[in-house]
């Protein structure tokens, strides 16, 4: 098994496998995503070139990211017969693959028409060097003399969920290139796609009938001949250029690519990917399945990473389409961010800049969402302004077709703290406080202020409580004293106080200006009091189990299977008002276990194990975010078999297609970057035992028994390290460019690791099973 390649030889002919395959084989370059569909596919097969950070709303439907016209389009026909893999009669063999090392998609299909064979081979990439550029190389071989009809250009028939977002596309030619352009409906933002070919064609007919701009070519082929041509396409929007310049910019990108040629474009793209992998690959020896799934996970994260300076973040379904409104959830800070922080810190910074940039949206939400809320209440589903894209009726009931009232938007208040925790982790990990000064400190203080306004002081109990919330488990809405949420709230306040302390020592003038700007100095004492006296549910003294929220233990005990048997419809949503899970202890995803994972230092192994064993049978894992939390906590308390099982579940979620495609009536079938981040965390933090808590680097490996070697790179405090773990030793090599000597705690032994040296520590004996 080549662990760098994913491949299939089956053809996708039904809707669901086409949709899933589009996710698995997608490419992205942070600017746009191109679903892994075939060159000749159209709207019915969910072709999507999804643009990061450009959203549109049509009427009262959900706002979602804009899909661009497909500049990668090519379709063939011969003797009036269309060649497409969907046609079982003609496509006799098919293979498609993605080479993850180079981020290149390839397809090779053998068609038989009228007794002779035509092979179509294409390879495509979205440039990692020039964000606007996509390149497709097409080769056609025929074993007999024939004339092929080639139709190639820009397909303007766009697959949208809630579109059309580019309703009046104009198709034309410009300077020998094809051009399709138009404007979004809501904000009239211009989008242009330009395509040109480098081809041996002579007999070309241009068709520019909106919405598509196409070249139709009659291509005479001699037996055994291969004809090759290259398509360069560029997508530019008004987010990147002024309205007058959008077309010019796209033309310039395509002209430059054409001048440079295919090899140069591809070389630059591959070189950029080599760099990315050098900083983030994780090697697992002894387990090909785990290796490939983990690489796939890392690949997804790398493809989705925003470009420096874009101020964008990563949506919950990355760039695999318009699913989940292209919105950014807590998924980014809690599940994807750690990967970037430890491998590509500049991308981690970019993710947080997005939250700084959308702070005003969070302030607006606090002002408008509840009685007397202050500070920053971040959007549950955040788009470009930070206003909440989540609706109050976010799920539909498939049996009645009615919308269900959900409280994700107004009660899932842990989102603000998740953001604050990530900003503080960024500072602790990098040692660089510039993000705090660029607005990060302001975000933290405003998030703390939000919890201050949200908490209730209960006179009878003489303590503060966080009431009426949803924790990560969305099946139980409007609960009191959810352990996860209260702990996150308290942590946020502690972080706010620590931020003030740090700035007072290092940047007193900046602190003074910030306190004055927010008029918050008079609230700091109150925050300290809240942190001291905020109730967070504790482990039960005997069992060690933490009650997920007040009253949880009194709910019905049932099994997941029994609950599911009672469904009237397979897509029925189990939460919201009358949901089947609501009166029961069945939870959607890790909640207490997520908390144990986030606040590792506060609990011991007894508590970890007790809660894992209590909550796991009660967890549906109905969210892709769940498995990795269970994997990491199991690794922590030493049950590596449990850890491994959930590691594979999270790492293979997209490859196996083991995910929900509908939540109620809502289509949610995209890719799962949070699970991908969870896979990386499980490998490096779980089995690798890495902790970088701001106090140094710690490595306490817990290698899974089948793994002979686990090797990865880490970035800490701006310096880089290569770590290698085998059953008998750990070695860490400090990059020769490192600026500092670092103390590293390896399996309890503290060693100094100067730049350019390797420290090796033998492990006492092979890791216990």
Cα 178 to chain centroid distance, Å, stands at 33
Cis ω on the peptide bond leading into residue 318 (within 30° of 0)? no
Closest distance between ligand BGC and the C-beta of residue 381, in Å?
8
The residue from 130, 160, 281, 474 that contacts ligand BGC (CB under 6 A) is: 474
In the complex, what is the shortest distance from the CB of residue 675 to ligand BGC, in angstroms, rounded to a whole number? 9
Question: With the C-alpha atoms ordered 112, 118, 121, 122, is the resulting torsion angle positive or negative?
Answer: negative
Closer residue to ligand BGC, CB minimum distance, 317 or 490: 317
Burial of 434-472, coded b for 16+ CB within 10 Å and e otherwise, reads: ebbbebbbbbbbbbbbbbbebbeeeeeeeebbbbbbbbb
Lookup: tokens for 455: 């908490």
**Residue 382 per-residue DSSP state:** B
Angle at 201 between CA 200 and CA 206, to 5 degrees: 145
The verdict on 472 binding ligand BGC (CB under 6 A) reads yes
Both tokens assigned to 481: 């004293």
Tell me how far apart the alpha carbons of residues 483 and 614 are, in angstroms, rounded to a whole number. Answer: 15
**Cα(549)–Cα(551) distance, integer angstroms:** 6
The residue with tokens 């002919």 is 13
Task: Assess whether 501 carries a catalytic annotation.
Answer: no
Q: Which residue, 445 or 560, has its beta carbon nearer to ligand BGC?
A: 560
Least Cα distance to 157 among 308, 292, 48 occurs for: 48
Q: Do the annotations mark residue 561 as ligand-binding?
A: no
Scanning residues 666 to 685, which ones bind ligand BGC (CB under 6 A)? 674
In the complex, the smallest distance separating the C-beta of residue 389 from ligand BGC, rounded to whole angstroms, is 12
Binding mask 288-327 for ligand BGC (x = CB under 6 A): ----------------------------x-------x---
Q: Which of residues 111, 330, 573, 612 is near ligand BGC by CB under 6 A?
A: 330
Q: What is the dihedral sign for C-alpha 391, 396, 401, 405?
A: negative
The residue among 151 and 674 lying less far from ligand BGC, judged by its C-beta, is 674
Mapping DSSP to helix (H, G, I), strand (E, B) and coil, where does residue 549 land?
coil
> How far apart (Å, rounded) are the C-alpha atoms in residues 676 and 685?
14
Nearest Cα to Cα of residue 336 among 350, 325, 324 = 350
Smallest gap, in angstroms, from Cβ of residue 324 to ligand BGC? 6
In total, the chain counts a number of residues equal to 769
**Site for ligand BGC (CB under 6 A): how many residues?**
12
- Between 199 and 663, name the residue whose CB sits nearer to ligand BGC: 663
To the nearest 10°, report the CA torsion of 255, 261, 264, 267.
100
Contacts of residue 562, Cβ cutoff 8 Å, sequence gap at least 6: none
Is residue 317 within 8 Å of 302, Cβ to Cβ?
no
CB of 548 to ligand BGC, least distance (A): 14
What's the CA angle centered on 462, arms 458 and 465, to 5 degrees? Answer: 45
- Residue 306 buriedness (CB in 10 A; 0-12 / 13-18 / 19+): buried
Cα–Cα separations (whole angstroms), residue 449 to 386, 436, 492: 18, 17, 9
CB of 488 to ligand BGC, least distance (A): 13
**Smallest distance, ligand BGC to C-beta of residue 330, A:** 6
Per-residue contact string for residues 79-118; x = within reach of ligand BGC by CB under 6 A? ----------------------------------------
Is 330 labelled a binding residue? yes
CB nearer to ligand BGC: give 394 or 692.
Answer: 394
Query: Of residues 52, 610, 625, 635, which one binds ligand BGC by CB under 6 A?
Result: 625
Q: Which of residues 589-618 bind ligand BGC (CB under 6 A)?
A: 589
> Applying CB under 6 A, which of residues 331, 433, 452, 719 lies at the interface with ligand BGC?
331
Select the span of 328-336, 350-358, 463-471, 641-649 touching ligand BGC (CB under 6 A).
Answer: 328-336
Q: Which is nearer to ligand BGC, 571 or 639 (CB)?
A: 571
Give the one residue of 97, 212, 358, 623 binding ligand BGC; rule: CB under 6 A.
Answer: 623
Residue 84 · residue 94 · CB < 8 Å = no
Distance, in Å, from the CA atom of 720 to the CA atom of 713, rounded to the nearest integer, reads: 7
In angstroms, give the least distance from the CB of 169 to ligand BGC. 31
The answer to the question of residue 333 lying near ligand BGC (CB under 6 A) is no
Q: Which is nearer to ligand BGC, 273 or 659 (CB)?
A: 659
Catalytic residue among 40, 64, 474, 477: 474
| Residue numbers 556-585 binding ligand BGC by CB under 6 A | none
Choice between 211 and 472, CB closer to ligand BGC: 472
- Contact pick of 73, 277, 329, 549 for ligand BGC (by CB under 6 A): 329
Q: Do residues 340 and 301 touch, judged by C-beta distance below 8 A?
A: yes
Binding site per annotation, positions: 330-331, 588-589
| Residues involved in catalysis | 474
Contacting residues toward ligand BGC, per CB under 6 A: 316, 324, 329-331, 472, 474, 588-589, 623, 625, 674
Binding-site residue numbers for substrate are: 330-331, 588-589
């Amino acid at each position: 098994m080549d662990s760098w390649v994913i491949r299939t030889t089956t053809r996708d002919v039904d809707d669901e496998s086409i949709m899933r395959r589009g996710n698995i084989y997608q490419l992205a370059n942070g600017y746009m995503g191109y679903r892994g569909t075939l060159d000749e596919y159209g709207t019915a097969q969910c072709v999507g070139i999804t643009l990061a950070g450009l959203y549109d709303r049509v009427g009262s439907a959900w706002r979602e990211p804009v899909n661009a016209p497909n500049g990668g389009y090519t379709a063939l026909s011969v003797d009036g017969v269309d060649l497409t893999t969907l046609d079982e009669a003609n496509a006799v063999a098919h293979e498609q693959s993605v080479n993850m090392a180079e981020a290149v998609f390839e397809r090779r299909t053998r068609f038989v028409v009228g007794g002779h064979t035509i092979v179509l081979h294409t390879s495509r990439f979205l440039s990692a060097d020039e964000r606007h550029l996509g390149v497709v190389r097409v080769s056609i071989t025929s074993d007999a003399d024939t004339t092929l009809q080639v139709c190639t250009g820009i397909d303007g028939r766009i697959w949208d969920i809630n579109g059309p977002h580019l309703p009046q596309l104009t198709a034309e030619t410009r300077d020998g290139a094809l051009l399709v352009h138009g404007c979004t409906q809501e904000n009239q933002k211009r989008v242009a796609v330009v395509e040109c070919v480098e081809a041996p064609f002579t007999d070309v007919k241009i068709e520019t009938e909106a919405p598509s701009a196409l070249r139709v070519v009659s291509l005479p082929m001699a037996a055994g001949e291969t004809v090759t041509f290259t398509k360069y396409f560029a997508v530019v929007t008004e987010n990147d250029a002024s309205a007058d310049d959008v077309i010019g910019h796209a033309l310039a990108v395509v002209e430059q690519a054409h001048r440079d040629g295919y090899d140069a474009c591809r070389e630059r793209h591959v070189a950029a990917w080599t760099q990315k992998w050098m900083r983030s690959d994780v090697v697992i020896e002894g387990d090909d399945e785990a290796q490939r799934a983990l690489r796939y996970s890392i690949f997804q994260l790398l493809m989705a990473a925003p470009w420096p300076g874009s101020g964008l973040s990563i949506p919950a379904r990355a760039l695999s389409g318009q699913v989940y409104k292209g919105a950014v959830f807590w998924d980014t800070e809690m599940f994807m961010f750690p990967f970037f922080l430890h491998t590509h810190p500049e991308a981690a910074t970019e993710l947080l800049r997005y939250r700084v940039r959308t702070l005003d949206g969070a302030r607006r939400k606090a002002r408008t969402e509840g009685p007397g809320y202050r500070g920053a209440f971040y959007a549950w589903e955040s788009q470009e302004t930070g206003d909440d894209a989540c609706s109050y009726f976010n799920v539909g009931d498939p049996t009645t077709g009615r919308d269900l009232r959900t409280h994700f938007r107004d009660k899932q208040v842990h989102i603000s703290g998740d953001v604050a925790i990530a900003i503080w982790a960024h500072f602790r990990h990098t040692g660089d406080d510039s993000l705090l000064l660029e607005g990060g400190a302001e975000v933290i203080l405003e998030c703390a202020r939000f919890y201050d306004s949200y908490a209730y002081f209960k006179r009878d109990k003489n303590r503060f409580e966080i009431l009426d919330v949803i924790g990560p488990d969305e099946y139980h809405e409007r609960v009191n004293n959810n352990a996860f949420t209260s702990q996150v709230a308290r942590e946020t306040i502690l972080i706010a106080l620590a931020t003030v302390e740090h700035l007072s020592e290092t940047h007193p003038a900046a602190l003074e200006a910030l306190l004055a700007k927010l008029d918050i100095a008079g609230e700091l004492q109150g925050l300290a009091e809240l942190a001291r006296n905020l109730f967070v549910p504790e482990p039960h003294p005997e069992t060690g189990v933490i009650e997920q929220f007040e009253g949880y233990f009194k709910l019905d005990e049932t099994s997941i299977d029994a609950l599911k048997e009672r469904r009237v419809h397979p897509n029925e949503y189990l939460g919201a008002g009358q949901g089947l899970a609501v009166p029961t202890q069945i939870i959607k995803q890790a909640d207490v276990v997520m908390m144990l994972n986030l606040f590792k230092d506060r609990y011991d192994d007894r508590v970890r194990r007790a809660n894992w064993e209590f909550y796991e049978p009660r967890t549906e894992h109905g969210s892709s975010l769940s498995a990795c939390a269970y994997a990491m906590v199991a690794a922590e308390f030493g049950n590596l078999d449990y850890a491994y099982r959930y590691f594979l579940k999270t790492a293979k979620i997209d490859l196996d297609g083991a995910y929900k495609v509908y939540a109620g009536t809502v289509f949610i079938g995209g890719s799962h970057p949070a699970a991908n981040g969870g896979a990386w965390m499980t490998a490096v933090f779980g089995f690798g035992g890495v902790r970088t808590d701001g106090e140094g680097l710690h490595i306490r490996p817990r290698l899974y028994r089948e793994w002979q070697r686990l090797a990865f790179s880490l970035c800490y405090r701006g310096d880089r390290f290569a770590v290698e773990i085998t059953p008998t030793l750990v070695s860490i090599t400090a990059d020769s460019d490192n600026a500092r000597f670092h103390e590293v705690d390896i399996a309890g032994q503290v060693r100094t690791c100067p730049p350019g040296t390797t420290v090796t520590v033998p492990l006492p004996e092979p890791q216990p099973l």
